[in-house]
Each structure stands twice: as structure tokens, then as C-alpha cells.
Amino acid sequence: MGLFDKIKHAFVKDKEEEQKTEEATQEEEKVSEPAEETTEPTEAEETTEETTTDAEFPADEKPEETEEVEEVEPADTEKKYEKGLAKTRRTFKDRMNELFANFRSVDEDFFEEVENTLIGADVGFDTSMRIADELREEVKIQNAKKPAAVQNTIIEKLVDLYEEEGEKEVNELNEQPNGLSVFLFVGVNGTGKTTSIGKLAHQYQQEGKKVLLAAADTFRAGAIDQLVEWGARAEVDVVRGNAGSDPASVVFDAMTQAKEEQADVLLIDTAGRLQNKVNLMNELDKIKRVIKREDPTAPHEVLLVVDATTGQNAMNQAQQFKETTDVTGLVLTKLDGTAKGGIVLAIRNELHLPVKLAGLGERIDDLEVFDPNDFVVGLFKGLLQEE
Ligand SMILES: Nc1nc2c(ncn2[C@@H]2O[C@H](COP(=O)(O)OP(=O)(O)OP(=O)(O)O)[C@@H](O)[C@H]2O)c(=O)[nH]1
Ligand SMILES: [Mg+2]
């Protein structure tokens, strides 16, 4: 099933759920009358247990306990994404409503409005232009003039482009099944490097892996302490030097210790000053050389951490880092509560970098492996219109 079809499917399911909830409420109001199923059974029926109320489900017919347990994990993650995306969704919706509030006819002014709307929704400049161009063509061919049809076509184009650009994208972390995985975290100040390392360390530790952290941000004494604190929280060891010491020597020590202790994962924190861009890049190069000398296959990931709330700024940082160092993937932090989640589309379509991890809060378990399709389904399903 294509991504857009998935969204349509989710949209139809939501509509049915809405209808059922409405019916259930009506049934509750008319207590004496027996419950009556009015909706046609469809392929969406598999979700019945989510939507039916206790009134429709006599205690003895409730789904087995084990089935409910299986549901817990994905539902939690889904809920986090749902919540994290709420503002982005609202922004998209508001902008779409604005666009169609002034809708008179599908003319050149309207296409320009579409471009502006999409740029404003952070999906990226090139993407916005492309979508508007494709819409021009589509409208010509299909003669689609009704607002609902035009809106659905915009969403379809966005999703199709996103899907097409992601064909060869690998979103899983490059973990080494038999040996040490070395992940280097880079990014400007305050984006969430140290926090993301702490969260990921916790996840691996919980999986029973032997994890080691390296405090290679020696520029700030506070930075070392912060990583040490996260190490304590995640119950993993931290290799550190003194403030002001050579970050590459800390990394050397960490590589040595990781090998001695046969660690599974080494996560390296680095400094994020951008005012010394050249120094910073030199430092990263030196760190990488030290890693490679100890293990020619490493680092297995160079993860650029960007703050989703900064929108276009995050895009610019990613562009700069991509030009000077071989970034293998992104960690997109602070997706909780930002309205700028649309940059996920711009990141893929314009930077061609995979988002590998998503930060959805400040707590230790608020980091998720990024599922780009779930993200896009969650973002757009509420925007489709009944035609
Ligand atoms: N809401 C939210 N806050 C986050 C997330 N990730 C990080 N933060 C917060 O962002 C702030 C900066 O995070 P750090 O991990 O210190 O960032 P850093 O990149 O290590 O910063 P420097 O060490 O200064 O380079 C902290 O207050 C974190 O709690 C996230 O996913 N969601
Ligand atoms: Mg830090």
C-alpha cells in the first residue's frame, strides 16, 4: 500500500470511529433502546477494540488480556507522536483553512498562495515550489476545482514526493551485531546532544547491552558534568578527561576502554560551538581519525543533532555540517510541542539526510527510533477532506 493510501485508510478509519463514538453517545442517551450496528463492516473493522465502548462489549466478550498487553508498546509510542505532532498538525490545518477561506477560483494567485502556505508550514522552499507546479498540472488534467479535491491533491502530492525521495533512505541506526558500535554525536549548542546520548544509553542499557559514553566536549566543564550525570541516570560508565583537555585523547581513552571491556556501544559527545566553525570541524576530523585508527570501520554513525523548534535554522545547520563532515543521519529533538514538524519533509526532500531518532521530551525515555511513514501519516491524516 502506498503512503497516501495509508493516510486515506487512516482518515476513513478516523471518520468511522468518530461516527461510532457519536452513535455510542446517542445510544447511551436512549438507554432503553437496544444497541444497533449501523455502519457497514469494512477492512477497518480490525480496530474494533479501540473504538467500541464497554456498553457494546459485555465483560465476557472482552479481548484477551494478552492482546491488550501487546498493544501497550506501540500505542504508547503512537500517543507520544500524536501528542508531539499536535501543534504541527494544528498549524498545517490553520494554514490550509486560511488558504481555502479566501478561495475564489483556481488561478495563478491561488497557486502562489499555495506556495506561501507550504513555505510557512516549513516544508521547504523547493518542495513548496514543486508541489505548486505539480498542482498546476494536475488541476489542468483533472479539472479539479472544488476546494476539498484541491486540498486532497495538495496532500497527495506532498506525500508522494516525500515517499519518492525516501526510497533508498535507511532510518535504522547502523548497529554492529558482532562488535563495538561507535556513534559520534555532533551539532551546535543546546540542540540536545548530551540529552539524546543519555536517552539512547538508557535504551541500550535496558536491552542488556554494555554501553560506554565519552565526554569529548571538554570545552565546557559543565558539559562533562552533564554527561556524567546522564551516565549515572542511565547506569553506564563515562570516560572523561579534565576540562580543557584534548577531546581526541578522551576519545582515544574511550576506544581503548571499550575494546578492553568488550563494550557493545560507545556514544561520543562533542562540543557544539559554531562561532569557531573551522576549529570545530578540525576537531571533529581529529576525533574521527583517532576512532578510525582504533577501528577502521568506525564511526558507524555520525549523528547530527538538530532542534526541530528552530525550523529553517536547523535546516541551515544540517546543510553546513553536511558540507564539512560526513553526517550519516539526524537526531531531530524537541519535536514535542513544536509547530515546525513540517521540516521533516524538507529534511528528506532537500537535504537527503535520514532522520534516525526523534526527541519527544526531556525525560530519559523520550527518545524514539524515527518512523518516517508513521510520522507523515500522523501529520496528514487529519487534513484530508471528504470529497
Ligand atoms: N522538550 C524537549 N527538550 C529537549 C529535548 N532534547 C533536549 N532537550 C532540552 O534541550 C536542552 C539542551 O539539551 P542538551 O542535551 O544539553 O544540548 P547539547 O546539544 O548537549 O548542548 P551543548 O552541550 O551546550 O552543546 C536541555 O534543557 C534539554 O532538556 C527534547 O526532545 N524535547
Ligand atoms: Mg552537551
Mean pLDDT computed over every residue of the chain? 84
DSSP notation for 22-66: HHHHHHHHSTTSPP---SPP-GGGGGHHHH--GGGS-GGGSPPHH
What pTM was estimated for this model as a whole? 0.83
d(CA 198, CA 183): 13
Query: For ligand 1, what atom is nearest to the CA of residue 359?
Result: 31
* Residue 310 Cα to ligand 1 middle (Å): 13
d(CA 196, CA 189): 13
The burial of 153, by beta-carbon neighbours within 10 Å (0-12 exposed, 13-18 middle, 19 or more buried), is given as middle
What is the crossing angle of helices 193-206 and 221-234, to 10°?
Answer: 20
Least confident of 33-47, 204-218, 268-282, 308-322: 33-47
* Residue 202 Cα to ligand 2 middle (Å): 16
- pLDDT tens digits along 28-41: 776 655 554 444 44
- pLDDT tens digits along 60-95: 433 334 334 343 455 677 777 777 788 888 888 898
Give the ligand at the shortest distance from the Cα of 364.
1
Instruction: Return the DSSP state at 267.
Output: E
Whether residue 145 is predicted with pLDDT greater than 70 in this model: the reply is yes
The angle formed by the CA atoms of residues 193, 199 and 201, to the nearest 5 degrees, is 100
> Residue 367 has what pLDDT?
94
Query: For ligand 1, what atom is nearest to the CA of residue 305?
Result: 19
Probe ligand 1: pick from 83, 213, 283, 333, max atoms within 8 Å of CB?
Answer: 333
* Residue 192 Cα to ligand 1 middle (Å): 3
The answer to whether 256 touches 239, Cβ cutoff 8 Å, is no
Percent of the chain at pLDDT > 70 equals 87
Reduced to 3 states (helix: H, G, I; strand: E, B; else coil), residue 290 is helix
Nearest residue by C-alpha to atom 1 in ligand 1:
361
Nearest residue by C-alpha to atom 25 in ligand 1:
189
Residues with CB under 6 A from ligand 1: 187, 189-195, 217, 223, 226, 272, 305, 333-334, 336, 359-362, 366
Whether residue 96 is predicted with pLDDT greater than 60 in this model: the reply is yes
Give the pLDDT mean for 125-150. 86
* Residue 81 Cα to ligand 2 middle (Å): 25
* Residue 386 Cα to ligand 2 middle (Å): 47
Can you point out the beta strands (E) in the chain? Answer: 181-186, 211-216, 237-239, 265-270, 301-307, 329-333, 355-359, 367-369
* Residue 288 Cα to ligand 1 middle (Å): 24
| Cis, bond preceding 299 (omega within 30 deg of 0) | yes
Nearest residue by C-alpha to atom 10 in ligand 1:
192
Q: Where residue 59 falls among pLDDT bands split at 50, 70, 90? A: very low
